[in-house]
Amino acid sequence: MTDSPAAPRPHLIAGNWKMHGTATALAEIEAMAAAAASLPPHVTVAVCPPATLIHRAAQVARGRLVIGAQDVHAEPCGAFTGCVSAEMLQDAGATLVIVGHSERRTDCHETDADVRAKAIAVQAAGMTAIVCIGETAAERDAGTALTVLNSQLDGSLPGSAERLVVAYEPVWAVGSGLTPTPEQITGLHAAIRTNLTARYGDAGERVAILYGGSVKPDNAAALLGADNVSGALVGGASLTAADFLAIARAA
Ligand code: 13P
């Protein structure tokens, strides 16, 4: 992805609703879909609602608003009570799936190998996998952030760079109101890019690298404007059309 004044680099602004939202929240999706049409052409917006809303959200989404999922099971079908396969998500209208979010790595004990298997399943179903990585505060303070990120990339990334997005979400920035500086993000994203190009060659240049963690309307321009940032993965501020669109307009 190259910078040029004539053609701003593509940005993906993805909202992760986590465990929020029932049918009444569809009004927000409708408002986002209506406004997405007037966003600059280099900006795509995505909302990943709870699985129960994917199908209905996909029916009201259109244009440059797409619908995704927050997790998936790696297997195509079977005796996995409560789980949902990639084919089921695709059938419901999802076009992308977040895998390896830090909340799932921590709360559900997902390993890098689990995350890789999920990413492969997502790609095989024709959807885009957003693979999340990020260091904890303790790892940051110990100076091991880069080692941790590279280890997560090595363990979690699928074999193909097609339909692949990486989201750098420092665990300490998620839901905390804290963020790295734009300069720190630029440096870490450059290191992630180095890993991607070593792994995938030229195809690694085309993998979008999102930043996530306490992205809000008032800090979005600075974070999204940082070099090497191809968009954002937004939690709390993606729940209302007003905040989410303000972030998308800052891209
Ligand atoms: P917040 O934007 O609420 O910090 O959440 C970030 C996140 O976890 C997105 O996946």
Q: Is residue 1 part of a domain?
A: no
C-alpha to C-alpha distance for 163 and 122, rounded to whole angstroms: 9
C-alpha to C-alpha distance for 183 and 224, rounded to whole angstroms: 11
Q: Is residue 140 part of a domain?
A: yes
- The number of domains in the chain is 1
Q: Is residue 2 part of a domain?
A: no
Q: Is residue 98 part of a domain?
A: yes
Q: Is residue 123 part of a domain?
A: yes
DSSP 8-state assignment for residue 73: B
Q: Is 126 in the pocket of ligand 1 (CB under 6 A)?
A: no
3-state helix, strand, coil in the chain (%, to 5): 45, 15, 40
Ligand 1: atom nearest CA of 132 is 10
pLDDT tens digits, 84-104: 999 999 999 999 999 999 999
Q: Is residue 167 part of a domain?
A: yes
C-alpha to C-alpha distance for 130 and 155, rounded to whole angstroms: 15
Closest Cα to residue 133, out of 143, 117, 122, 147? 147
Query: Judging by beta carbons within 10 Å of its beta carbon (0-12, 13-18, 19+), is residue 38 exposed, middle or buried?
Result: exposed
- The boundaries of the domain holding residue 195 are 11-250
Q: Is 101 in the pocket of ligand 1 (CB under 6 A)?
A: yes
Ligand 1: atom nearest CA of 234 is 2
The rounded average pLDDT for each run of 10 residues, N- to C-terminus, in the chain (251 residues) is 63 98 97 94 97 97 93 98 98 98 98 98 98 98 98 98 98 98 97 98 97 98 96 98 97 93
Q: Hey, whose CA ends up nearest to atom 2 of ligand 1?
A: 235
pLDDT tens digits, 133-179: 999 999 999 999 999 999 999 999 999 999 999 999 999 999 999 99
Q: What CATH number did the domain enclosing 66 receive?
A: 3.20.20.70
Q: Is residue 6 part of a domain?
A: no
Q: Is residue 4 part of a domain?
A: no
Active site residues: 101, 169
Calculate ∠ Cα 11-7-243, nearest 5°: 35
Q: Say how many Å lie between the CA of residue 16 and the centre of ligand 1.
A: 7
C-alpha to C-alpha distance for 190 and 181, rounded to whole angstroms: 14
